[in-house]
Amino acid sequence: MMRILNICLLVWGVVVFAATARADEAQFKADLDALTAAPHRLAGTPEGRAAGDYLIQRLTAMGVKQVLPLEFSLPQTRVDRCEMVIDGRVVPLMPVRPNLLANPVTPAQGVTGPMLYVGQGTLKDIDAALATHRAALGDAQTLEGMIVVIDYDSYDNWETAFSLGAAAVVFLGHGDATNPMPLHAGAPANLVRLYAHADADGTVGGLDLKQPRAKATVVSHVVWESTIGRNIIAVI
């Protein structure tokens, strides 16, 4: 009888554990969906504020009695305009992290030049891309003055593009792309580094950025502004 009772208790425990695990998994997914709904959660931005509000609500619902939001002032970037214009069509872009305090910005009219996709950005890739550009559009011996499109997961080869005279670098990525190397420098240099998010078909705004172009313009207007950030402390 005791053995049967132990078996019953074991089965009951497994059922309860499985049900709890399913509930925890569902809540985890709900939390994840809520906290990744926006492109980012940077401090001092509406997206960061919304994420903090959600955390406060969840902690309170979990029974935490002391949830303490502590606000502080901080500088944060504001993007007024960031895009590429090709043949009159506008492609949305995003600025990459500043080099210390130097945002990746262009003059008001933007930066204009030939556009070239260089894949992973190795010297071999660059030579092959220049050959393709010459065959399609004429003379192109170097990257001098060009808008260079490079794969997001190209390590630090974006530095090579700038060292060879690129006027701007546009990282072409998708949701699964990662890069183990930083895309910013430790010096306050205004290197125009922007990001283009490719759709499922590989295009950005309906345009294939892997095709060489005789002319493209990138515009990046990013400024610093004073904002209010927030730390959230829960006392358990």
In which region does residue 165 sit, left (phi positive, over 0), alpha (psi from -120 to 50) or beta (all else)? left
The pLDDT of residue 23 is 61
Instruction: Tell me how far apart the alpha carbons of residues 170 and 60 are, in angstroms, rounded to a whole number.
Output: 43
pLDDT digits (tens, 9 = 90+) for 80-120: 999 999 999 999 999 999 999 999 999 999 999 999 999 99
Is residue 67 a contact partner of residue 59, using CB atoms and an 8 Å limit? yes
Instruction: Tell me how far apart the alpha carbons of residues 52 and 194 are, in angstroms, rounded to a whole number.
Output: 28
Sheet containing 193-197: order of strands: 89-92, 66-86, 213-235, 111-117, 147-151, 168-173, 193-197, 94-95
pLDDT digits (tens, 9 = 90+) for 183-193: 999 999 999 99
3-state DSSP assignment of residue 164? coil
* Confidence tier at 8 by pLDDT (50, 70, 90): very low
pTM of the model: 0.83
**Which element (helix H / strand E) includes 172?**
strand 168-173
Is residue 188 a contact partner of residue 101, using CB atoms and an 8 Å limit? yes
Q: Which is higher by pLDDT, 23 or 167?
A: 167
Report the 10 Å Cβ neighbour count for 173.
19
Question: Among 6-10, 54-58, 117-121, 204-208, whose mean pLDDT is lowest?
Answer: 6-10
Q: Rounded to the nearest 5°, which phi and psi values hold at 228?
A: -115, 120
Q: Report, as an integer, the average pLDDT of 8-33.
A: 63
* Confidence tier at 2 by pLDDT (50, 70, 90): very low
Question: Among 10-19, 112-121, 142-151, 223-232, whose mean pLDDT is lowest?
Answer: 10-19
Q: How far is CA 228 from CA 22, 34, 47, 66, 232, in A?
A: 38, 22, 12, 22, 13
Residue 22 has pLDDT above 90, yes or no: no
Instruction: Tell me how far apart the alpha carbons of residues 166 and 70 are, in angstroms, rounded to a whole number.
Output: 44
Is residue 227 a contact partner of residue 71, using CB atoms and an 8 Å limit? no
pLDDT digits (tens, 9 = 90+) for 24-79: 899 999 999 999 999 889 999 999 999 999 999 999 999 999 999 999 999 999 99
Q: Rounded to the nearest 5°, which phi and psi values hold at 111?
A: -115, 125
